[in-house]
């Protein structure tokens, strides 16, 4: 789709978005990073809503608000202004779980500080839709325009349908990322455990002590050196390796 074209008036919205949803679903089959996936989603939102000049996603987790996948710097700056000023259409969409439209930033009275600041970026209109998966509010997806009055009821319908699909993709990508990071953490925990085991073995042989005494010595070295146990263990193992090479 081309973001500058006008949607056909007789084309059902479900047909209009069928190809977009297919491309979105394809993301679930890939191992993209969260940022890459959200960037692709933002680009698709930009293509989907006619007359938009940029798009982005705000991920909201409690007090934390993070912009991801923004299509350009203006979107990032406009979002950052919302977070700094604690006001704006994207935050309102996420909090109220409803579509929020700004027809002309120059005449916007709900968020005057944000509208004035975002207007200085050359933006004139905004449209935001919440990202809700099940009962979980994930944030919001938004598009901006550099001309006033370009978003209408059809634009709202398009972005609403888009956000409904996008929310589940965002939830899945986040779950995949958390699982990946957890898996990496578990692998590191196993590596650290093995390293401590090797270090204990070195100390037991070097000082003719039992396993408990070797562990106490390792813990003492960790404390004295101000490093974590795994780093103290690595130093012991590395020293043993150097001795063998001599």
Residues in the chain: 246
| Interval 36-94: pLDDT, tens | 778 888 988 998 899 999 999 998 877 777 777 899 999 999 999 999 999 999 999 99
For the beta sheet containing 100-102, the strands, ordered from the edge strand earlier in sequence to the opposite edge, are 64-68, 54-61, 136-145, 125-133, 100-102
**pTM of the entire predicted model:** 0.65
Q: Which residue has the higher pLDDT, 187 or 236?
A: 236
Coil, strand or helix: which one is 212?
Answer: helix
| Interval 231-243: pLDDT, tens | 888 888 888 777 7
What pLDDT is stored for residue 246 in this prediction?
A: 57
| Interval 78-132: pLDDT, tens | 999 999 999 999 999 999 999 999 999 999 999 999 999 999 999 999 999 999 9
Residue 28 and residue 170: Cα distance in Å, rounded?
A: 9
Closest CA to 158 of 108, 101, 82, 111: 101
Residue 82 and residue 112: Cα distance in Å, rounded?
A: 11
Q: Identify the structural domains of the chain with CATH numbers, from first to last.
A: 13-180 (3.30.450.80), 184-245 (1.10.10.10)
Find where tokens 């690595």 sit.
234
What pLDDT is stored for residue 31 in this prediction?
A: 47
Query: Which string of DSSP letters, residue by residue, matches 166-199?
Result: HHHHHHHHHHHHHHHHHHHHHHHHHHHHHHHHHH
Residue 130 and residue 52: Cα distance in Å, rounded?
A: 17
């Amino acid at each position: 789709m081309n973001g500058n074209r006008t949607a056909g008036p007789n084309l059902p919205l479900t047909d209009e978005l069928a190809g977009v949803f297919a491309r979105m679903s394809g993301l679930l089959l890939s191992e993209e990073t969260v940022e890459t996936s959200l960037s692709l989603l933002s680009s698709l939102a930009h293509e989907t809503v006619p007359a938009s000049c940029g798009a982005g996603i705000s991920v909201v987790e409690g007090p934390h608000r993070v912009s991801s996948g923004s299509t350009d710097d203006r979107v990032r700056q406009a979002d950052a202004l919302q977070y700094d000023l604690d006001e704006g259409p994207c935050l309102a969409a996420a909090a109220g779980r409803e579509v929020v439209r700004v027809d002309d930033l120059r005449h916007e009275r709900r968020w005057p500080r944000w509208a004035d600041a975002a207007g200085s970026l050359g933006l004139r209109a905004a449209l935001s839709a919440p990202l809700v998966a099940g009962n979980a509010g994930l944030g919001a997806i938004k598009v901006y325009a550099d001309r006033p009055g370009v978003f209408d009821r059809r634009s709202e319908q398009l972005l609403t349908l888009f956000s409904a699909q996008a929310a589940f993709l965002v939830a899945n990508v986040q779950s995949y990322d958390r699982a990946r990071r957890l898996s990496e953490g578990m692998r590191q925990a196993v590596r650290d455990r093995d390293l401590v085991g090797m270090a204990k073995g070195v100390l037991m042989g070097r000082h003719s002590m039992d396993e408990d005494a070797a562990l106490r010595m390792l813990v003492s070295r960790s404390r004295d050196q101000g490093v974590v146990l795994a780093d103290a263990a690595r130093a012991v193992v590395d020293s043993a390796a150097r001795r063998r090479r001599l």
